[in-house]
Amino acid sequence: MRVTILYLPLLYKTVLVISIILLPYKVCAQMEAIVPDRPGFSTGTYTVPVGELYVETGYRYLFRSNLGVELSNMPQINLRTGLTSKIEIFIEWDGFEKHHGQNEIATEWPLLGGKVKLTETEALELTLIVGLGGFSSGNMLALDHLVGVMWEIDISDMISNFGGVQIESEHDENNREWLPATALGAEINLSDKISLVTELYSIYSINAKNYFTAVELAVLILPINTVQIDFHSGLSLSSEIPHYLGLGVSFAFK
């Protein structure tokens, strides 16, 4: 579900659009600690407050020798803002995909979506996520869908459990495929500034009748309340999908 891009001016246009969006905002050190959706497979339960803007971006390197895969995604971008105290909207884009050793650069359509807080107590949070993307090839245009429910449970002051269930669709020139997925993870707060995160997730391909499973490990660093830096890696437990390494930074603006 990718469209070949033979030139790079779109990258500069993307940077320009983001800069224009950020003009009305400023970083505010008095804000509560940022809670990005990156890194990780599952989406967090947190919804961005009204009047705040989250800019989450990063780089990911994917590799697997038996698949002949070596590629990079950059710049991964997720823009989030609140509509109400329990609803946010977001635009998520995986950026350009560069296949190393080839001259071809590809990209997917951005995903436009929303999150709705269903339940919020001291111990449990439940959030609904919906999204709509797209695929185009020649004269054909198709829409891709995403819907899921995410949870977070506070086990103690230091440890929280999170996860979710979701289903998304992907479309190519031939057919549409529905991909149910589950995720289960834990976050350990080593201090106010450093956290460790691990997540196990599995995607089921209905067409291939096969599970694709991976585990991700991440270190989150919070130098100030409005900035998070992440270092993460993914180990594939299935021979059909690649391993990956990544890093990113997220900003909160008000």
pLDDT at 26: 55
Q: What is the mean pLDDT of residues 104-116?
A: 91
Residue 200 has pLDDT above 80, yes or no: yes
pLDDT at 152: 98
pLDDT at 108: 83
Partners of 144 in beta bridges: 133
CB 220 within 8 A of CB 194: yes
CB 202 within 8 A of CB 211: yes
pTM over 0.75: yes
pLDDT at 102: 84
DSSP-derived 3-state class of residue 188: strand
Q: Which two tokens stand for residue 82?
A: 């609140």
What average pLDDT does the chain have?
Answer: 88
Residue 239 has pLDDT above 80, yes or no: yes
Residue 9 has pLDDT above 60, yes or no: no
**Interstrand relation of 53-64 and 227-236 (parallel, antiparallel or unpaired):** unpaired
**Tens-place pLDDT, residues 203-230:** 999 988 999 999 999 999 999 999 999 9
pLDDT at 15: 46
Length of the chain: 254
Q: Which two tokens stand for residue 31?
A: 């804000």
Q: What is the mean pLDDT of residues 2-7?
A: 34
